[in-house]
Amino acid sequence: MGVLTELNVYPLKSGGGTPLRSAELGATGLPFDREFMLTNAEGRFLSQREYARMALLRPVYDGEILTVDVADPALAFSTLVHKAVDNGPVRDVTVHRSECQGVDQGDEAADWFSALLNADVRLMRFTGHRPTSRGGGEVAFADGYPLLVISEESLADLNARLAERDADPLPMNRFRPNLVLSGLGAYAEDAVRRLRIGGAEIEMVKPCARCVITTTDQDTGERGREPLRTLATYRMIDRGLRFGHNAVPRVLGTLMVGDTVEILEEA
């Protein structure tokens, strides 16, 4: 048995996370997760890979109003308060190689983000349907899956290895999980196939490949070399550096921090 210790939702793709105490798990994951996304003029998604400053964005969305603060007083940016648009132009957009659609949120929001990033960007809101990369689920603007699961013990193991290399420990927010578990052991998320958490059930479908975003300090936007350098010494799996596991909801229900986590099926 384990315990659910964190619930995090990311209303704006590649922006900061919003911690939750409880949430209704839906077919596309936690409510409003990656509902909004920044794109370039061609409709291609933008992220911290290109714009590390996006780590400083602190979005909150209540289903009607998207509020975005910038976690750096030196930038002197006023808070964006944006009423979500559902009747704007629908545009074709891409997330990696996946084609989908978004509702353009208008010039005012686009101008705010463009000034912050010093680039010509548009804010899009997800619309329509988009299948997961595998596993038969649905997803909004997340890279490929509606849930990312990581255990506290996995991070503790990584931080122990970082200490051996005289590197600083990393917080969980470097890896941007939706669900954080405790009590199942290091990398247990790789060893199970199906979990019951509270009134919901999820299926693990694919280890998560990690990129340069994990080297970006989510409080400062500064980049370093870790954890990719250390992960390369022991987590190279199928030609990718893996940390955490992508999952798909199978039984919808309420999730609450403190819920018991039960293994229903091992991998």
**One-letter amino acid of 27:** A
Q: Are residues 144 and 19 in the same domain?
A: yes
Assign 131 a pLDDT band (cuts: 50, 70, 90). Answer: very high
Cα–Cα distance for residue pair 180/137, rounded to 1 Å: 20
How high is the pLDDT of residue 238?
87
Rg (CA), the chain: 18
Mean pLDDT value across residues 68-93? 94
Same domain, 240 and 159: yes
Other beta carbons less than 10 A from residue 181's beta carbon: 25
Residues 213-240, mean pLDDT to the nearest whole number: 96
**End of a domain among 127, 152, 176?**
127
Judgement on whether residues 158 and 227 belong to the same structural domain of the protein:
yes
The domain of 193 spans: 2-29+136-266
Give the per-residue pLDDT at 133: 87
Number of domains in the chain: 2
Closest CA to 61 of 36, 44, 93, 88: 36
Report residue 38 as tokens: 């920044």
Q: Measured between alpha carbons, how far is 91 from 254 in angstroms, rounded to an integer? A: 33
Q: What pLDDT band is residue 27 in, cutting at 50, 70 and 90?
A: very high
pLDDT of residue 202: 98
Regarding whether 121 and 242 lie in a shared domain, the answer is no
Contact 1, 261 (CB under 8 A): yes
Q: Do residues 166 and 229 share a domain?
A: yes
Quick one: 142 and 195 in the same domain? Answer: yes
Question: 179 and 123 in one domain?
Answer: no
Distances (CA, A) of 93 to 99, 119, 121, 165, 169: 6, 17, 12, 41, 37
pLDDT value for 230: 98
pLDDT tens-digit readout, 162-217: 999 999 999 999 999 999 999 999 999 999 999 999 999 999 999 999 999 999 99
Q: How confident is the model at residue 23 (pLDDT cuts 50, 70, 90)?
A: very high
